């Protein structure tokens, strides 16, 4: 069996930047163990699989796998999947609807060549106590903690976020999917962040769309504005143009194809 495979740098306007995601379009679902094995073999933060949803040519079902587990929401691999549909699979409508474990996710074209994700907002709530292992894991003490699907650690400056050198073993003890470090940005950037996910097999994710479903509501409230420009300050780095629109978060970015190929699974 041969399966198409694409690798896309999402939230980037050039290769070797942003967040690389593998995308595997399917005509029908593979066994879950096979998809997990493919994701482990790819060894990227996420591998996305999608299949057509019935006869509706605008809609697909989508699932995402890290090298270790399936996750319920992933931004950059959804952006990469939409890029593959538009760039390589001759998808024509202005909007794609992906059906996921987090509900319907819409991706639309923008006039400036970017794609926009429409995701559910997941506002965080204050967390009064430091979870065990957090301070040792980060090697720094945040000003504030907030709990959403991920643990948000708020710092005073961008420099502090950039300087973090986490102990991944200790961070893996913190009982959240991921650890987000964030601070106000500079030079026209409203806020910066980094994302660490050792519990799900991702020591540091280069650009994390799902994290911004929590970060955007927080920073929109703190800065009293709904349109925000964000930068994830990982080694590769990436930028997102974000908007809080009620209970939804819009995130726009560029994507570029790095490779096209095939997976050979033998007789299945």
Mean pLDDT of 206-216: 96
Residue 101 pLDDT level (bands cut at 50, 70, 90) = very high
Buried b / exposed e along 83-122 (16+ C-beta atoms within 10 A): bbbbeeeeeeeeebbbebebeebbbbeeeeebbbbbbebb
Please state at what angle helix 209-223 crosses helix 75-88, rounded to 10 degrees: 120
CATH topology for 2-119+253-264? Diaminopimelate Epimerase; Chain A, domain 1 (3.10.310)
pLDDT in tens, 235-256: 999 999 999 999 999 999 999 9
Residue 194 CA: distances (Å) to CA of 15, 25, 84: 20, 29, 26
Domains 2-119+253-264 and 125-246 share a fold: yes
What is the mean predicted confidence (pLDDT) over 28-36?
Answer: 97
Structure tokens at 74: 């992933």
Per-residue pLDDT of 66-94, as tens digits, reads 999 999 999 999 999 999 999 999 999 99
Mean pLDDT of 160-178: 95
Q: How many CB atoms lie within 10 A of CB 204?
A: 21
To which H or E segment does residue 86 belong? helix 75-88
Residues sharing a CB contact under 8 Å with residue 54, sequence separation 6 or more, in sequence order: none
Distance in angstroms (rounded) separating the CA atoms of residues 33 and 41: 12
> Who's near 133: CB < 8 A, 6+ residues apart?
170, 171, 173, 174
Return the active site residues.
46
> Cα–Cα distance between 168 and 209 in angstroms, integer?
21
Which residues are bridge partners to 182 per DSSP?
154, 193
pLDDT in tens, 5-30: 999 999 999 999 999 999 999 999 99
Domain boundaries, given as residue ranges, for the chain = 2-119+253-264, 125-246
Distance CA 46, CA 11 (A): 14
pLDDT at 136 over 70: yes
Q: How far is CA 133 from CA 130, 139, 167, 172, in A?
A: 8, 10, 10, 8
Instruction: Identify the CATH class of 125-246.
Output: alpha beta
DSSP state of 123: -
């Amino acid at each position: 069996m041969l399966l198409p495979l694409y690798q896309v740098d999402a939230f980037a306007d050039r290769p070797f930047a942003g967040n690389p995601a593998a995308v595997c379009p399917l005509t029908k679902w593979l066994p879950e163990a096979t998809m997990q094995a493919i994701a482990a073999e790819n060894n990227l933060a996420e591998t996305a699989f999608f299949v057509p949803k019935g006869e509706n040519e605008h809609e697909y079902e989508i699932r995402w796998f890290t090298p270790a587990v399936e996750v319920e929401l992933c931004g950059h691999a959804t952006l990469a999947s939409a890029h593959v549909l538009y760039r390589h699979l001759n998808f024509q409508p202005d909007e794609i609807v992906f059906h996921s474990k987090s509900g319907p996710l819409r991706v639309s074209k923008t006039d400036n060549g970017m794609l926009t994700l429409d995701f559910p907002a997941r506002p965080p709530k204050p967390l009064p106590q430091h979870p065990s292992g957090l301070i040792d894991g980060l090697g720094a003490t945040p000003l504030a903690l907030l709990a959403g699907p991920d643990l948000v650690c708020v710092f005073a400056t961008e420099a502090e976020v950039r300087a973090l050198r986490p102990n991944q073993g200790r961070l893996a003890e913190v009982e959240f999917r991921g650890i987000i470090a964030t601070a106000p940005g500079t030079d026209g950037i409203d806020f910066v962040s980094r994302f660490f996910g050792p519990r799900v097999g991702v020591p540091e994710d280069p650009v994390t769309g799902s994290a911004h479903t929590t970060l955007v509501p927080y920073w929109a409230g703190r800065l009293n504005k709904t349109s925000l420009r964000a930068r994830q300050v990982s080694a590769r780095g990436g930028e997102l143009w974000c908007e809080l629109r009620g209970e939804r978060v819009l995130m726009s970015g560029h994507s570029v194809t790095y490779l096209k190929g095939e997976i050979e699974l033998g007789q299945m």
